[in-house]
Structure 1
Amino acid sequence: MAKKKPLVYVTRKIPTEALARLHQRCEVLLWGEELPPPREQLLRDIADADGLLCLLTDTIDETVLKAAPKLRVISNMAVGYDNIDVAAATKRGIPVGNTPDVLTETSADFAFALLMAAARRIPEGERYVKDGHWRTWSPMLLMGQDIYGATLGIVGLGRIGQAVARRARGFDMRILYHGGSDVEAAAALGAQQVDLETLLQESDFVSLHVPLTQETRGLIGAQELRLMKPTAILINTARGPVVDTTALYEALKNGEIAAAGLDVTDPEPLPADHPLLQLENCLVTPHIASSSQATRARMAHMAVNNVIAGLRGEPLPYCVNPAVYPDKP
């Protein structure tokens, strides 16, 4: 009699090749809708699951873990994992995996693209043309901010922050940073470490690259925005709650800063009638910084590798709670 395959619940469609690998080794229950599974659906579907492959949009808390008594592994297809109660999973001996490093360059590309689009008012220009307003060339039309030679302040000089800094060097930008422990990498990039106040006061562009923690929640609020130049542009591809949304709206509306480019928001997604979406100087994209075909495929394979290892009783290749392996060095 053939051994029964373990059941893995996958909370959304993932790239085909990675999903096929999972099907070869496991029984797969896939939530195939565009939106995340509703809470009650998640609790029902996970009841008999041995493994869980989830996304940032899925809240995996104590209640979910209680609903899944057979669960042996959780794999988050993301670098971050603030959607998972890791402490609760660790208490149950459940390893939690993520997909680190793979999206560094792709995310940095997008952060810099967002910076450039906001600085040079590219979305406004496109709308201007498509709405039929372009009648002639004008020397004062949609004047933006220069990037070349400007000062870039990076909050969080980790892997993605460093990758953004490498791109900034190609534009001969002065680079300031706050947060980040790799002093040698910073020196190689020509980046100068300063306190947050100095960074905000001196930067023409401020790009956020910090994880969401108790310390970083609301890191950029009304007081911090008032420190920035009225010509400055804020870029957030980190986590939405790092920025106080209400304070940002007021700063943009009142001209305290020139513009913002946001790939993450709070709340996320923003309601269609949210005030931020009514502002011409606020560019918002739907959390797609790492969304290239190659990167998404690599992330999916890494997430599947975590699931397969966990179901085999092996250490996860990318484990965020190694305390579940007390005997491992």
Structure 2
Amino acid sequence: MKAVIIDDRYESHALEREEFKKAGAEVVEITNVNPSDDQIVAECKDADAIVVNLAPLGAELLGKFEKCRVIARYGVGYDSIDAAAATEKGILICNVPDYCMEEVSDQALALFMACARQIRFRDASVRKGDWDANGPTPIYRIAGRKFGLVGYGHIPRALHRKLKGFNLGEVLIYDPFVDEDEIKKAGGRKVDFDTLLKESDYVSIHAPLNEKTKHLFNAEAFSKMKPSSILVNTSRGGLVDTAALVDALKSGRIAWAGIDVHEQEPAPADYPLKAMDNVVLSDHKGFYSEEAQADLQQKAARAAAQVLMGEIPASVVNKAAIKK
């Protein structure tokens, strides 16, 4: 059997090779990060399994894969793969659903704390020789305040666990797909989106990006938030309307924002958020740690190897393909 790793982005694939060795599969690597469709077809036409990072696999490409039984994605999302076409061909799609949940929740917490305590502004002020308790906005005590989570998957649940030591007044959760009793049992209160915006002092975004959620945080949403509120986004840049966020921060409609993901990446030279004192920025590195990367490589390959050994991994996202 043959397993192909598409758009190679790692220094070593020893972990993947070890997993596929258990299934008796040979591993072939497409070593450039942006392979052409012709390259992909040439190697994957007779592949039994594929592990892919960011290369898009549309219906036309999938139609040329003659033997493929499984495509494993390095990550949680799999929107780069045509799931309907894969299902029709009986190709299982697997992801790594618990990938980087500790890292991204850490990043959200770090951005929140940097905003709440104005660390970026304080650091810059001290380096300039200033020594002044005043800042761009007042600092408020965290204890007793309300924290809003938009989405309640693996990552926000990890963040919720880490927030329990802050003695918050309440954790509000907006996720229409999670049962109210489950949220209550976890120590949160399920609310609708408007209630979360109006009542939360801090809001952390953990929703998927799709047609319904694009620019979920727009001018209307910001108009409902508290002037003292902090927004954190470690999910997808397109969930936030950047122009509306800039206006909200400049006008005092909200107080601070901690942003790890951006509508345009890399951020352009004239990115307006770069010039703002009440914004903390990072370069979409919330996912990263050495341990998370190793887990990702191993778990993606393990799921694909399981299929080659006749097993059904728990991480299959297109269950309808199993029957085919």
1:140 corresponds to: 134
Q: Which residue of 2 aligns with 1:283?
A: 280
In structure 1, distance between residues paired with 2:229 and 2:209: 23
Q: 1:117 aligns to what?
A: 114
> Where do 1:211-230 residues align within 5 Å?
211-230=208-227
1:12 maps to amino acid: D
Residues 234 and 259 in structure 2, CA contact (< 8 A), matched pair in contact too: yes
1:141 is displaced (CA, Å) by 4.6
Other-structure match for 1:264: 261
Q: How many aligned residue pairs are there? A: 313
Kindly provide the CA deviation profile for residues 226-266 of structure 1, in whole angstroms up to 9, marking residues without a partner as x.
11111111111222222222222222232221121122222
For the pair 1:246 / 2:243, whether they are aligned, the reply is yes
- The 3 A distance-change label for structure 1 pair 31 and 200 is same
Contact 2:6 2:40 in 1 (8 A): no
Q: Alignment partner of 1:170: what SS?
A: helix
2:28 corresponds in structure 1 to: 28
Compared CA separation, residues 125 and 290, structure 1 to 2 (3 A): same
Correspondent of 1:159 among 154, 157, 171 = 154
In structure 2, the partner of 1:54 is 52
Q: Is the 8 A contact 2:98 2:154 kept in 1?
A: yes
Measure the CA separation in 2 of the matches of 1:6 and 1:99.
21
Offset at residue 104 of structure 1 (A): 2.5
In 2 relative to 1, CA 70–9 (structure 1 residues): closer, same or farther, beyond 3 Å? farther
CA contact (8 A) 2:75 2:97 kept: yes
**Rounded Cα–Cα distance in structure 1 between residues aligned with 2:31 and 2:317:** 25
CA contact (8 A) 1:61 1:85 kept: yes
1:172 aligns with 2:170: no
- Shift of the 63–124 alpha-carbon distance from structure 1 to 2, 3 Å rule, reads farther
The one-letter code matched in structure 1 to 2:38 is: R
User: Structure 2 CA distance, aligned partners of 1:272 and 1:303?
Assistant: 35
Q: What is the TM-score normalised by the length of structure 2?
A: 0.86
Corresponding residue for residue 203 of structure 1: 200
What is the CA distance between 1:86 and its match in structure 2?
Answer: 1.0
The answer (yes or no) to whether the contact 2:52–2:71 under 8 Å persists in 1 is: yes
Q: Distance in 2 between matches of 1:68 and 1:227?
A: 50
Contact residue 305 and residue 317 of structure 1 kept, 8 A: no
CA root-mean-square deviation: 2.5
- Rounded to whole Å, the distance in 2 between the matches of 1:247 and 1:259 is 13
Name which structure has the greater RCO, CA cutoff 8 Å, separation 6+: 2
Residue 67 of structure 1: how far off its partner (Å): 5.5
The letter for the 1-side match of 2:134 is: M
CA deviation after TM superposition for structure 1 residue 155, in Å:
1.2
Displacement of 1:68 after TM fit? 4.4
C-alpha displacement at 1:110, in angstroms?
A: 1.8
SS of the residue corresponding to residue 46 of structure 1 reads helix
Deviation, structure 1 residue 215: 2.4
Check whether the contact 1:148–1:171 (CA below 8 A) recurs between aligned residues: yes
Q: Bigger shift: 22-31 or 171-180?
A: 22-31
Q: Is the 8 A contact 2:86 2:93 kept in 1?
A: yes
In the alignment, which residue of structure 2 is the partner of 1:79?
A: 76
Equivalent AA in structure 1 for residue 234 of structure 2: T
Q: Give the Cα separation in 1 of the matches to 2:195 and 2:128.
A: 41
**TM-aligned CA distance change 1:122 to 1:222, over 3 Å:** same
CA 1:307 to 1:189, structure 2 compared with 1: closer, same or farther past 3 Å?
Answer: closer
Equivalent position amino acid for 1:157 in 2: Y
| Greater alpha carbon shift after TM alignment, 166-175 vs 11-20 | 11-20
Relative to structure 1, the CA distance from residue 69 to residue 250 in structure 2 (aligned partners, 3 Å threshold; closer, same or farther) is farther
The CA distance in 2 between the partners of 1:44 and 1:145, in whole Å, is 57
Question: Structure 1: which 5+ residue stretches go unaligned?
Answer: none
Amino acid at match of 2:172: L
| TM-score computed with the length of structure 1 as normaliser | 0.85
Out of 7, 10, 14, the position equivalent to 1:11 is: 7
Hey, what's the Cα distance between the residues in 2 that align with 1:184 and 1:304?
35
Deviation at 1:23, TM superposition (A): 7.3
- Please give the alpha-carbon distance, in whole angstroms, between the structure 1 residues aligned to 2:269 and 2:50: 31
Offset at residue 98 of structure 1 (A)? 0.1
Q: Is the CA contact (8 Å cut-off) linking 1:309 and 1:317 kept in structure 2?
A: no
- Displacement of 1:170: 0.9
Whether the aligned pair in 2 keeps the contact of 1:43 and 1:67 (CA below 8 Å) is no
